[in-house]
Amino acid sequence: MSTLPFASAGPEAYTSRHATWPPPPPGLPDRGTPYGDWLAAVFDRWWHAGRRRTRVRIFQECIALLLGLPAATEQFGLQPFTAAVVETDGTIEQVDSLKTAYPGAAATGLDVFAHSFDDALAHPGVAARQAGLAALAPDCVACPLVTVCGGGHYAHRYREGHGFRNPSVYCADLQRLIRHIAAAVTGEFGGGAVA
């Protein structure tokens, strides 16, 4: 297995490093799916292990969505994402991953001293992340994997001058991984249930 620059929030969280359009993330050529290929290889080792000793959230959430079950992740699916960050000074921000898009992307202008969390939910940036299909690029809406992919991680969709209504910078890699996992699940449990 080749080594690529992945972020990890712990042993169970394999995620692509945060990146936006342009430039593409390191190791991502004009063509090919190096991140998807790497994650597919990790998935195979995890899936075919005699016993799953480690919970790998990205794989479990993808499988759940492929089977039509709900998932609770920011990286996949169309479910509304309603998390907020309270900084040590009391400011309420959107999730930290948005800070990779541009300076101030996570800011809401709100704080816990003068605002409620309902105010945070009404913030336009937070509301956009709750809009499901309506917040996605036309290419994403037309994609047969949209209910699983959900357009990819919100921060990975940012393109300067165009905002967040773009396919993920990892779109091809996500398609590769989702189709790979779908084939494994279909092979294990029979056809028809997955994309």
* Cβ neighbours of residue 187 closer than 8 Å, sequence gap 6 or more: none
Q: Give the closest residue to 109 by CA, choosing from 130, 98, 96, 125.
A: 125
pLDDT band at 16 (very low <50, low <70, confident <90, very high): low
Predicted confidence (pLDDT) per residue in 58-103, tens digit: 999 999 999 999 887 778 999 887 788 999 999 999 998 899 899 9
- Would you say residue 3 has pLDDT above 80? no
Residue 190 has pLDDT above 80, yes or no: no
Residue 116 vs residue 52, higher pLDDT: 116
Element (H, E) at 97: none
Q: Say how many C-beta atoms besides its own lie within 10 A of residue 175's C-beta.
A: 20
| Nearest residue to 75 (alpha-carbon basis) of 99, 57, 100, 63 | 57
CB 133 within 8 A of CB 76: no
What are the structural domain ranges in the chain?
A: 6-78+132-189, 82-128
Which residues lie closer than 8 Å to 67 by C-beta, 6 or more apart? 185, 193, 194
Instruction: Tell me the C-alpha distance between 148 and 154, whole Å.
Output: 14
pLDDT band for position 15 (50/70/90)?
Answer: low
Residue type, 63: I
Q: Is the pLDDT of residue 10 over 60?
A: no
Burial environment of residue 136 by CB neighbours within 10 A (0 to 12, 13 to 18, 19 or more): buried
Q: At 192, is the pLDDT very low, low, confident or very high (cuts 50, 70, 90)? A: low
Structural contact between residues 61 and 77, judged by C-beta atoms closer than 8 angstroms: yes
pLDDT in tens, 125-176: 988 888 889 999 999 999 999 999 999 999 999 999 999 999 999 999 999 9
Spatial contact of 78 and 147, defined as CB atoms under 8 Å apart? yes
pLDDT band at 7 (very low <50, low <70, confident <90, very high): very low
pLDDT category, 21, cuts 50, 70, 90? confident
Q: 3-state DSSP call for residue 79?
A: coil
Q: How far apart are CA 65 and CA 164, in angstroms?
A: 23
Cβ contact 170:25 at 8 Å:
yes
